Chains A and B, each alone.
Chain A
Amino acid sequence: DTAVSQTPKYLVTQMGNDKSIKCEQNLGHDTMYWYKQDSKKFLKIMFSYNNKELIINETVPNRFSPKSPDKAHLNLHINSLELGDSAVYFCASSPIPQGGAVGELFFGEGSRLTVL
């Protein structure tokens, strides 16, 4: 069983379209994340949810809207796609922080978004 699963794995679309990426984790974790990895492999946090509540919202255009229907799911919806949105988007989850720090992050395999 895949611990953190994302769909779709590949997404090719035209500028201006709206698209969604879904993420599900079966690890029973309370916290889920979206990270963006650009073409240079730089990995940046976008959002973090803890038990369906938004915890981190980095400087991300408001065209990006995360939605967490329950603590096992965190979906990412992107409106009016732009060329610069092309990247690999990673979902991750982690258990409750121990000793004042986030523990191990468990990553999905990534969703490669290409905007033409």
Chain B
Amino acid sequence: GEDVEQSLFLSVREGDSSVINCTYTDSSSTYLYWYKQEPGAGLQLLTYIFSNMDMKQDQRLTVLLNKKDKHLSLRIADTQTGDSAIYFCAEGGYSTLTFGKGTMLLVSP
């Protein structure tokens, strides 16, 4: 079955880079996603990458995909306190998305 794994917690200082890692099992996933959940809110799509790409950059966000190792990472440059949230990796199947358990990012001043 599909399974998505992430580390549960990451703590960084403001201005540092944050790297959140994810591994997935379904090699047929066409898209891989990063969602952000702020306290008391629903999930919002942050960025996504098509499975035939190695890298995608979007302002402070860089997504790296190693399809051979089924490894996805999200790098946030110049991390701000407003980036503190839970970040979910997800892989896209035909009928739904399978989410990882989420990585709580804590940014300290």
Report how many A-B pairs have Cβ atoms within 8 Å: 62
Counting chain B residues whose Cβ lies within 8 A of the other chain, the interface size class is 20 to 34
Are B48 and A102 within 8 A (Cβ)?
no
Q: How large is the interface on A (under 10, 10 to 19, 20 to 34, 35 or more residues)?
A: 20 to 34
Q: B96 near A102 (CB under 8 angstroms)? A: yes
Which A residues touch B88, using CB under 8 A? Answer: 43
Partner of A102, one of B40, B94, B102, B104: B94
Contact partner of A40 among B33, B37, B41, B101, CB < 8 A?
A: B101
Contact of A105 among B40, B43, B102 (CB under 8 A): B43
B101's partner among A42, A90, A101, A109 (CB-CB below 8 A) is A42
Contact between B41 and A97 (Cβ–Cβ < 8 Å)? no
Q: Quick check: is A69 within 8 A (CB to CB) of the other chain? A: no
Query: How distant is B50 from chain A, measured CB to nearest CB, in Å?
Result: 9
Does A12 lie at the interface of the complex (its beta carbon under 8 Å from any beta carbon of B)?
Answer: no
B45 and A100 contact, CB distance less than 8 A? no
List of A residues within 8 angstroms of B42 by Cβ: 4, 90, 107-110
List the A side residues contacting B40 at CB < 8 Å: 109-110
Q: Which of B29, B95, B99 has a CB less than 8 Å from the CB of A56?
A: B95
Query: Is A104 in contact with B102, judged by CB distance below 8 angstroms?
Result: no
Q: Mark B33-77, 1 if CB is under 8 A from A, else 0.
A: 100010011111100100000000000000000000000000000
Check if B101 sits within 8 Å of A100, measured CB to CB: no
Q: List the B residue with the shortest CB-CB distance to A108.
A: B42
Question: Is the CB–CB distance between A104 and B33 below 8 Å?
Answer: yes
Quick check: B95 and A90 within 8 Å, CB to CB?
no
Is A56 a contact of B96 with CB atoms below 8 Å?
A: yes
A41 vs B97: C-alpha distance when bound (angstroms): 16
With an 8 A cutoff between CB atoms, is B11 at the interface?
no
Interface flag for B105 (CB, 8 Å): no
A11 interface residue (CB < 8 Å to B): no
Name the 4 nearest CB pairs between A and B, nearest first: A101-B30, A107-B42, A101-B92, A43-B99
A-B CB contact pairs (8 Å), 16 listed = A33-B96, A41-B37, A41-B101, A43-B99, A55-B95, A90-B42, A92-B43, A100-B94, A101-B30, A101-B92, A101-B93, A102-B92, A103-B31, A105-B43, A107-B44, A109-B41
